[in-house]
């Protein structure tokens, strides 16, 4: 399984004592000094911490109780047991910390209101719901905390459900996980990125979120292979010797063998992103069920085929090892047919996925479906073409999103409520469509899910997730599981923005010297983003772009 997209650590939260999860348990840091990294807990390939918070001190003021409670909320062990010490016994029974996470930019300000009520005000940057779906925010929150005295000590007897974390706490404790669901046609897996705290309940939270179903963006787009009756029979997932035991009710046995194997594979791909999980066992009525997962060649997330590219220039098309920009001595039969089909053709844009290709020439589309023969259509793509694993080419023509089934030759338009479309690009797994809509100067960059009908044709879209706005968009590409790239022209050249659907990753890189980016191509690996500016290939170095000293009119990663 290919490496998941990484999210970097942010600054440490001073004042909290942190412990890192290890195989043998927890290790407390010294009581003084700055937090230090003492070990790793890998969730989505990154380092995480478990917060070891302290309970309320004797005689603490109401303000200290509220502040201590918010800090202790980052300690997720034993269902936030330490944070519950700041609550009355009655409220501790009805407080549901997993209902949502409010992420605020910094520690909230406290103001005494009426009686024993205090208002905590902060700038909210994001909200994470109970199944780990991350949504950016930009509003001000004013939460009310009511306190009462219990045996001479202040305790909270009313507060918002869920927890509130500063951005620093959230970045230390929470990590992204790509939940695996079935893509269209069940031929590949789609990554649905969620956020969960590291620690002793991480595997249980991930499994529960998976069984709760896909996020709103992918609802009706991806599948689970489950019937509505199949559910977790035990709420917790135990991990022993690297094996996560997921207990399901007897309805799991009513699924066909294919569906059982699909479920097992999706759970394995999802749960093994936690460092102490190497395999998954499905248990029914306390009996492990012998279910074989599919191999990565049979069912997995979409991935680039060994870092190879097909490139086109005046000398024709060829397959290159992109890391060295040298021709492949044995490109394979399918790739050879593709390069031969592009011989003598002026190619402006190209996409290659699962043995098919589509190319825009400026006067027509040239493509190859499952039959291995070259075809052409007179339609003109006004933007870059893209291609999904189901064999559908995507492009913008006359301001509309147009799709073409490369196997049948059927085509159609996917409407976005009458909005004029500047750019559109599909994910290789076919689940999500990145779009830039609106008139020039008022561009909105969005992502929508793509639902298909019984024939597999794109039929409708899900509600849009907005990633940004800009004056105009000159190039588009997907990067990793949930991240979109786009280039916007500037007086000095172009600015490339990288933004994640999950909202946690936003970066920009600037070209200079008047280099205007015409195309972007990206694979799922670090440093695999390439740009074309007037035929010259640019590579990213930090926040700038440099000339790779290669010239092509079009280039495309070879996706499996």
DSSP class per residue in 234-266: SSS-EEETTEEEEEE-GGGGGS-HHHHHHHHHH
Q: Where are the domains of the chain?
A: 18-174, 175-289, 304-559
User: Is-contact 167 108, C-beta < 8 A?
Assistant: no
Q: What is the pLDDT, as a whole number, of residue 4?
A: 37
List the chain pLDDT tens, one digit each, 560 residues. Answer: 333 332 222 222 223 333 333 322 222 222 222 222 222 334 533 446 778 899 999 999 999 999 999 999 999 888 899 999 999 999 999 999 999 999 999 999 999 998 999 999 999 999 999 999 999 898 999 999 999 999 999 999 999 999 999 999 999 999 999 999 999 988 899 999 999 998 888 999 999 999 999 999 999 999 999 999 999 999 999 999 999 999 999 999 999 999 999 999 999 999 999 999 999 999 999 999 999 999 999 999 988 877 899 999 988 999 998 888 899 999 999 999 999 999 999 999 999 999 999 999 989 999 999 999 999 999 889 889 999 999 999 999 989 999 999 999 999 999 888 889 999 999 999 999 999 998 877 899 999 999 999 999 999 999 999 998 888 899 999 987 789 999 998 888 898 998 999 877 778 888 877 889 999 998 765 557 899 999 999 988 777 888 989 999 999 999 98
Tokens 């977790």 map to which residue?
A: 232
User: Is-contact 435 421, C-beta < 8 A?
Assistant: yes
Neighbouring-strand partners of residue 122: 141
Q: What is the pLDDT, as a whole number, of residue 479?
A: 85
Number of Cβ atoms within 10 Å of the Cβ of 54: 14
What is the 3-state composition of the chain as percent helix, strand, coil, each rounded to the nearest 5? 15, 45, 45
Q: What is the pLDDT, as a whole number, of residue 43?
A: 52
Distance, CA of 470 to CA of 312 (rounded, Å)? 31
Q: What is the pLDDT, as a whole number, of residue 527?
A: 54
Q: What is the pLDDT, as a whole number, of residue 21?
A: 34
Number of Cβ atoms within 10 Å of the Cβ of 447: 23
CATH number of 304-559: 2.120.10.30
User: Is-contact 220 449, C-beta < 8 A?
Assistant: yes
Compute the residue count for the chain: 560
Q: What is the pLDDT, as a whole number, of residue 444?
A: 94
Number of Cβ atoms within 10 Å of the Cβ of 46: 17
Q: Classify residue 187 by burial, with Cβ atoms within 10 Å: 0-12, 13-18, 19+.
A: middle
Distance, CA of 275 to CA of 265 (rounded, Å)? 17
Q: What is the pLDDT, as a whole number, of residue 445?
A: 94
Q: What is the pLDDT, as a whole number, of residue 525?
A: 53
Q: What is the pLDDT, as a whole number, of residue 8?
A: 24
CATH of 18-174, one of 3.60.21, 3.10.450, 3.40.1000, 3.40.50: 3.10.450
């Amino acid at each position: 399984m290919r490496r998941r997209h990484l999210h970097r650590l942010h600054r440490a939260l001073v004042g909290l004592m942190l412990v890192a999860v290890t195989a043998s348990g927890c290790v407390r840091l010294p009581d003084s000094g700055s937090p230090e990294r003492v070990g790793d807990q890998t969730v989505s390939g990154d380092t995480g911490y478990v917060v070891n918070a302290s309970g309320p001190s004797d005689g603490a003021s109401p303000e200290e109780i509220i502040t201590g409670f918010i800090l202790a909320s980052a300690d997720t062990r034993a269902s936030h047991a330490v944070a519950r010490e700041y609550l009355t016994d009655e409220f501790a029974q009805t407080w549901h910390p997993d209902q949502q996470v409010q992420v605020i930019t910094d520690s909230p300000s406290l103001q005494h209101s009426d009686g024993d009520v205090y208002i905590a005000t902060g700038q909210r940057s994001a909200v994470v719901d109970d199944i780990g779906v991350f949504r950016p925010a930009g509003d001000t929150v004013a939460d009310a905390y009511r306190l009462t005295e219990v045996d001479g000590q202040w305790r909270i007897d009313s507060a918002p459900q869920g927890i509130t974390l500063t951005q620093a706490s959230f970045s230390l404790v929470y990590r992204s996980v790509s939940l695996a669901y079935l893509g269209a046609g069940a031929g590949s897996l789609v990554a649905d990125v969620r956020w969960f705290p590291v620690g002793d309940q991480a595997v249980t939270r991930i499994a529960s979120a998976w069984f709760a179903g896909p996020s709103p963006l992918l609802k009706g787009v991806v599948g689970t292979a489950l019937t509505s009756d199949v559910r977790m029979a035990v709420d917790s997932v135990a991990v022993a010797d690297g094996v996560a035991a997921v207990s399901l009710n007897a309805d799991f046995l009513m699924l066909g063998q294919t569906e059982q194997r699909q479920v097992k594979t999706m759970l394995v791909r999802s749960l093994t992103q936690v460092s102490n999980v190497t395999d998954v066992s499905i248990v029914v009525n306390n009996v492990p069920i012998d279910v074989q997962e599919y191999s990565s060649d049979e069912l997995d997330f979409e991935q680039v085929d060994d870092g190879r590219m097909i490139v086109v220039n005046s000398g024709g098309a060829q397959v290159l090892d992109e890391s060295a920009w040298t021709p492949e001595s044995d490109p394979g039969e399918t790739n050879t047919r593709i390069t031969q089909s592009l011989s003598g053709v002026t190619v402006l844009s190209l996409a290659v996925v699962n043995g098919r290709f589509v190319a825009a020439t400026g006067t027509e589309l040239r493509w190859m479906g499952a039959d291995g023969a070259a075809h052409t259509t007179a339609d003109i793509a006004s933007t870059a073409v893209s291609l999904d694993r189901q064999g559908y080419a995507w492009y913008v023509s006359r301001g509309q999103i147009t799709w073409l089934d490369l196997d049948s030759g059927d085509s159609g338009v996917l409407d976005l409520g009458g909005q004029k479309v500047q750019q559109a690009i599909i994910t290789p797994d076919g689940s999500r469509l990145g779009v830039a809509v609106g008139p020039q100067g008022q561009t909105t960059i969005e992502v929508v899910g793509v639902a298909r009908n019984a024939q597999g044709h794109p039929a409708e879209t899900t509600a849009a997730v907005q990633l940004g706005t800009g004056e105009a968009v000159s190039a588009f590409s997907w990067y990793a599981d949930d991240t979109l790239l786009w280039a916007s022209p500037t007086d000095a050249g172009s600015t490339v923005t990288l933004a994640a659907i999950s909202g946690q990753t936003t970066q920009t890189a600037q070209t200079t010297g008047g280099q205007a980016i015409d195309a972007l191509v990206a694979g799922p690996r670090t440093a695999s983003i390439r740009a074309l500016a007037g035929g010259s290939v640019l590579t990213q170095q930090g926040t700038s772009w440099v000339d790779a000293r290669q010239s092509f009119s079009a280039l495309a990663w070879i996706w499996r």
